[in-house]
Every structure is written in C-alpha cells, then in structure tokens.
Copies of this chain bind each other. A is one copy, B any other.
Amino acid sequence: MSKQDDEERVLTQLAEVVGCCEPLAREPLSAQQSIELARVFKAMGDPVRLRLLSLIASHVGGEACVCDLTDVFDLSGPTISHHLKVLREAGLITGERRGTWVYYRVRPELLATVSAVLVPEKAEEPRCA
C-alpha cells in the first residue's frame, strides 16, 4: 500500500463520514465522525505544522520544496520531515518528488470541508435575513 493510497483513503473517509458541509452545531457528531475529524484537527494542533501548512499554502505556485521549509525553523531536517508526514497522513497535504527535490501542496478541499463543519451556516451562500 503506497503513501498515496493512504492519503486518498483518509480524505475519502472524511468526506464520507463527515458529509459535505454538515455543521458541528446542527446535530451531535457520531463517534466515527469525531474520530475522523479529530485526526485532522490533531494534525493542525501543533505550531510547527500549522506554520508549515501556511507556508506551503501561501507559497508561490501553491507548492513549496522541503528545502524552503527547513530554513524557516530552528529544527532538524528529520523533525520537519516528521511533521510533513503527519500532515500528509491527515490528508492535509500531498508530496511529489521531482528530481532531487520534493514538493508539497495543500488540499484546499479538505480545508474547506473542515472549515464548513465549524460554522452553522454554509459560507458561500449569501445569508441575507
């Protein structure tokens, strides 16, 4: 089973279990839903990983090389690599090797799903009273 498979599996499960935009305040989450969602939040629950995510998301071209990320932190290479793996396994980013370097990009659809769970109303439709 490849890493790619793992990533896909997590993302599919989340969409499947959480539903497209079922808000957290509408009805109680099931045990299964909370497990899947918590996996993502836990991955974002570290300052270094949040910054990595932000660095990748805001980088030109929507992707960032690991070498760009390592210099920002006062941490060893393996530690950065570890955090990237956690983000990857949570389905938040994908990694692709091109030649010598590995490039990461975010999965905006997962961020959007998670974001939608938090607010009672769906954001995109103009909510006019």
Q: Mostly helix, strand, loop or mixed at chain A's interface?
A: helix
Tallying the copies of this chain within the complex gives 2
Contact A112 B106, beta carbon cutoff 8 Å? no
The residue that A54 contacts in the complex, of B29, B49, B114, with Cβ under 8 A, is B29
CB pair B31–A54 under 8 Å, yes or no, is no
Q: Which of A106, A119, A120, A121 has the most CB of B within 10 A?
A: A119
Chain A residues at the B interface, C-beta cutoff of 8 Å: 24-29, 31, 34-35, 37-38, 41-51, 53-55, 57-58, 72, 106, 108, 111-112, 114-116, 118-121, 123, 126-129
Q: How far is the CA of A54 from the CA of B58 in the complex (A)?
A: 31
The smallest C-beta distance from A98 to any residue of chain B, in angstroms, reads 22
